[in-house]
Structure 1
Amino acid sequence: MESRVELFALIRRDARVEGLSVRALAAKHKVHRRTVRQALESASPPERKPRQGVAWRLEPFKPAIDAMLTEDTTAPRKQRHTARRILARLVEEHGAEELSYSTVRDYVRVRRAQIDVEAGRRVEVFIPQEQAPGAEVEVDFGEVWVVLNGVKTKCHMFVFRLSNSGRAIHRIYLTQAQEAFLEGHIEAFNVLGGIPTKHIRYDNLTSAVTAVVFGQGRQRQENDRWVLFRSHYGFDPFYCQPGIAGAHEKGGVEGEVGWFRRNRLSPMPVAGSLDELNDRIRAWEVLDDRRRINDRIRTIGQDFALEQPFLAPLPAELFDPGLVLTPRVDRSSMVTARMVKYSVPARFIGRRLRVSLRASEVVVFDGRTVVARHQRIVAKHGQSVQLDHYLEVLKTKPGALPGSTALARSRESGAFTTAHDAFWAASRRVNGDADGTRELIDVLLLHRSMDAGDVQAGITAALGVGAVSADVVAVEARRHSSSVSDGGAGPDRHPVAREDADVQRVVSLTQRRLMDPAAVIAGLPSDTRPLPSVGVYDELLAKRSHPAGIVSKESISWALQHPL
């Protein structure tokens, strides 16, 4: 179908070349004579008149609508008229039964802005911004749900986004408390290799702001630890307007939270731990370097390569992001932090220790020495207990081990393996419950100085030769460690399992007999030695016929050379 411009061009050509009249041109092109005259007057077709539709029905009600919108200029924001409420009032109060919602909505959309201007109210205008490289960053938290160790868990995603290149760092924590807030900054600074030179944009997070000072611009009351942190790293904060009014002031990171949640965390990710999930996120961030934001020419990675040199350098001194507490160790050898108990070595009972409560872990210090480290627990009244912290006490009270919470937790985590159970059962059968448990504890103490895989291999080797001694486990574990380091065997192929291994081992025959007498007796080689005799000593008794019971030197020498 030809356009009106083409039609006008044909009419003008026929009039010019063939000299046809208006009537003839109208008949030839099957149009009204009015159209022919328009074509002869101008090559450009006139604009079509807009279709009036049914908006004319709104005319009698416009004054009433304007009055409602004018009333809204002084009403609370959440109690202003919507287009649907305006239509309902027109029907109830003015009998406007024939008006449609779309007609009222289109009028209200335009007229509300005009009335706001007439009333002297500020109309928000968004002005596109372009930040210098390395100058500015936007930070925000976003809620995400994760299937964590089989449990659907609400988590919080910290997002740190460079305004110029769009390069973003994402980390997921169980909480959005100050520990996670600071830890996210440190992680982002380290990954990006620098600090913005101008400022970082925030909303009014309680991790940084204790109070918004209304009537004094963007002035805020900040908490001391946040002031110390930003002073250490040398950057200035920029706080957005409170509430929804300030969302556009950090629209880049707001959009990044939504994009990452939709494209990387949908459906809900499944992970055994947050460390595993954050490692997966690091790999996704590398992939995101290849994408382009909107209509940019370069990718995020290419823009970041240009921006990175403009970042300020990192300080040489490290900053501990954890909340520092100094609780006292109770009689159960545990400290309490945020209504959660964490175990420490029993030798610290009754003392005060320094606890660094971080976003993902809890670290306990004695002076500058780390004495305990736990995964952080967010649920109140929870416990994190490590079996290693109670070994010295359990050695004096071995009967407390089977029913202890520490052992139960160690089994759940997989640290106490089936190999440990097998050694414990064999040791109790040979040495009795108390001494057998002490042998197991000596084996568990080996984990402090040796790799867990080496100790487990040592247990397997010791049981294979019928030994239930911690000393034998230690020897076998060291042999396994040296063979792996020398390339003689891998972690899945222990030297004991090799048939060609020419290894001499000394094993207690008594222990082997107690563990499995039938197997020991059946496996012993035939004994070809003659039966022992006491005849030699009988000869010594015969020598007592000498005077004064004197035994000759020759007899003594012969007896010493031929022992029983």
Structure 2
Amino acid sequence: MWRGWTLTVKRWKAGNVGPKLTEAFVPMAFAPGDACQFDWSQEQVELGGIVQTIKVAHFRMAYSRQMFVAAYPRETQEMVLDAHNRAFAFFGGVPARLIYDNLKTVVDTVYTGKERQFNRRFLTLANHYLFEPVACTPASGWEKGQVENQVGNVREWLFTPLARFACFAALNDWLATRCRELAQRRHPAQSQRTIADCFAEEQPLLRPVTAHFDGYVEQMMRVSSTCLVRVDRNRYSVPASAAGQAVSVRATADQIRIVAQGEIIAAHARLFGREQLICDPWHYLPVLDKKPGALRNGAPFVSWDLPKSIQAVRDRILKQPKGDRAFVELLMMAGEAGLDALTVACELTLEGGVVNASVVMNELRRLISPNLPEAVNNVPDGITLKTEPLANCQRYDHLLGARNVH
């Protein structure tokens, strides 16, 4: 009996349900300078001859529709911080609010309704630039629909066909130029004006950027016995004096900085491959002083791209007895004088034809020693010679003859 009732209800619903309603939305309106929307997209490009997947940060001013995009290897927090620095520099100011999805790099915890616990480092950025971060309701992308649509348009306008550039810097310069060019299109809601015209109205209402935000992400690490710290599967060198110590490693979108006792002791360009070794040979000079044999096979020195004159002198000296120690002493001295001074000293030594560590060190000392001031003789007028004596070398012959007699 219940089965029969169920079938009857289903037939009734099938015959009485009207056409399916289309989901409805509320049109959005924004005041000039009020809001900017943010999102990420994933694109394909060719960088340095290699096709790879990259992340693109999208910004869109909600009133003027002025957009800005920047490309990165990934969408980690330091990339988010750097993207905001670039966007505010491009816009020439900061809007009152920025609207986001609930990104893990922005939002730590999503509570009921609009309440959010924002990431502490991200809040530091927001407090620095004095904008209000706003997180969308989960699964409500329409709250930032402009930038959602922009993602698809940018893929068609800028990444189809495949974009080809030498590096991220060249790609980002081109993207910024294209954002300015695309602003010459008609504004979608104000058809008599261009996006650039509307942005010219909006830009003076943005909060001026008074100071650049240092967008690093920090973590504490201990320097290994080989004077290295590991960041994102790559290893970077640190001065030997910090071996075994705890240091602060600050990663930005393009740099790794190592800080100890409040001072930067090392800085490297950031790489995004895997298992790469990035060494500054000067960090290892104190180790060479105790272990000069490491000069021949030590990884920092094997790949050291020295000037040709230094390479030529090094190859000659290493073939001489105790050459390792002698060349290390030259490097120690160059650590204070500078590599340019050592380069000139090696060039002078090669021109002279006698190549050994002593000659190079003598040339180096002559280059770096201060020029002595000319002697000033303050001789009283009463004892000044009226007739200066003439040089007479025959006197030495007379002395030599006298010595031979004895």
Instruction: Verify same fold: TM over 0.5.
Output: yes
Give per-residue Cα distances to partners, 1:204-240, cap 9 Å, x unaligned: 1111122333xx3233332332233323322222222
Question: Which structure is higher in strand share?
Answer: 2
Whether the aligned pair in 1 keeps the contact of 2:32 and 2:63 (CA below 8 Å) is: yes
Q: How does 1:205-224 map to 2 (within 5 A)?
A: 205-213=103-111, 216-224=112-120
CA deviation after TM superposition for structure 1 residue 137, in Å:
0.1
2:86 paired with 1:187: yes
Paired residue secondary structure (1:242):
coil
Q: Secondary structure at the match of 1:359?
A: coil
What is the aligned-residue RMSD (CA, Å)? 3.8
Q: Provide Cα deviations, 1:134-193, integer angstroms capped at 9, x if missing partner.
A: 111011111123434444333211122211222222222222111111221122223322
Q: Which residue of 2 aligns with 1:345?
A: 239
Tell me which residue corresponds to 1:202: 100
CA distance 1:416–1:302, shift in 2 (3 Å): farther
Which secondary structure state, in structure 2, belongs to the residue aligned with residue 363 of structure 1? strand
Q: Is the 8 A contact 2:295 2:324 kept in 1?
A: no
The number of equivalent residue pairs is 367
Q: 1:541 to 1:449 in 2, by over 3 A?
A: closer
Instruction: Note closer, same or farther for the CA distance 1:470–1:133 as it changes in structure 2 (3 Å cut).
Output: farther
The correspondence for 1:306, drawn from 201, 204, 209, is 201
Q: Which amino acid aligns with 1:196?
A: P
**Paired AA for residue 255 in structure 1:** N
Hey, what's the Cα distance between the residues in 2 that align with 1:229 and 1:423? Answer: 51
Which one of 241, 252, 263 corresponds to residue 358 of structure 1? Answer: 252
Aligned to 1:445: 335
1:386 has 2:254 as partner: no
**Partner Cα distance (1:259, 1:465) in 2:** 67
Long gaps (5+) in structure 2: 1-6, 370-395
The whole-number CA distance in structure 2 between the counterparts of 1:159 and 1:364 is: 30
1:238 aligns with 2:100: no
Corresponding residue to 1:277 among 150, 171, 177: 171
Distance 1:371 1:419 in 2: 29
Q: Confirm or deny: 8 A CA contact 1:420 1:440 kept in the other structure.
A: no
Residue 310 of structure 2 contacts residue 342 of structure 2 at CA under 8 Å; is this kept in 1? no
CA shift for structure 1 position 196: 1.0
Residue 224 of structure 2, aligned match among 313, 330, 343: 330
8 Å CA contact 1:327–1:337 kept in 2: the answer is no
Structure 1 SS opposite 2:296: coil
> 1:442·1:470 contact (CA, 8 Å) conserved in 2?
no
State the match for 1:83 in structure 2: none
In the alignment, residue 306 of structure 1 is paired with which amino acid?
Answer: E
Partner of 1:41: none
Equivalent residues of 1:345, 1:372 under 8 A apart: yes
Equivalences for residues 117-516 of structure 1 within 5 A: 117=21, 123-197=22-96, 199-213=97-111, 216-243=112-139, 246-293=140-187, 296-316=191-211, 318-379=212-273, 381-410=275-304, 415-428=305-318, 433-435=323-325, 437-438=327-328, 441-442=331-332, 445=335, 449=338, 463-466=350-353, 469=360, 472=363
Residue 175 of structure 1 aligns to a residue whose secondary structure is: coil
Which residue of structure 1 aligns with residue 390 of structure 2?
none
**Gap change, CA 1:397 and 1:340, over 3 Å in 2:** same
Q: Find 1:539's aligned residue among 378, 401, 404.
A: 401
Residues 268 and 540 of structure 1, relative CA distance in 2, 3 Å threshold: farther
Task: Provide the rounded CA distance (Å) in 1 between the counterparts of 2:351 and 2:186.
Answer: 60
Q: Report the secondary structure of 1:374's partner residue.
A: strand
State the TM-score, normalizing by the size of structure 1: 0.56
Q: Which has the larger radius of gyration?
A: 1
Q: Judging changes above 3 Å, is the alpha-carbon distance between structure 1 residues 432 and 281 closer, same or farther for their aligned structure 2 residues?
A: farther
CA distance in 1, matches of 2:98, 2:223: 40
Q: Which amino acid aligns with 2:57?
A: F
Deviates more, 1:354-363 or 1:373-382: 373-382
Q: Deviations over 1:425-477 (max 9, x none)?
A: 2443567631553266258637x856x7x876775565445475266468789
CA–CA distance in structure 2, aligned partners of residues 332 and 463 of structure 1: 35
Q: Compared with structure 1, are the counterparts of its residues 166 and 408 closer, same or farther at alpha carbon in structure 2 (3 Å cutoff)?
A: farther
Specify which structure has the higher proportion of helix.
Answer: 1
Distance in 2 (alpha carbons) for counterparts of 1:433 and 1:229: 54
Inter-CA distance 329–201: structure 2 relative to 1 (3 Å threshold)? same
2:372 aligned partner:
none
Aligned residue type for 2:207 = A
Structure 2 Cα separation of the partners of residues 204 and 440 of structure 1: 57
Whole-Å separation in 1 of the counterparts to 2:46 and 2:303: 21
- For residue 101 of structure 2, what is the amino acid of its counterpart? D
Alpha carbons 2:253, 2:270 under 8 Å: kept: yes
Counterpart AA for 1:437: F
Contact kept in structure 2, 1:340 and 1:379, CA below 8 Å: yes
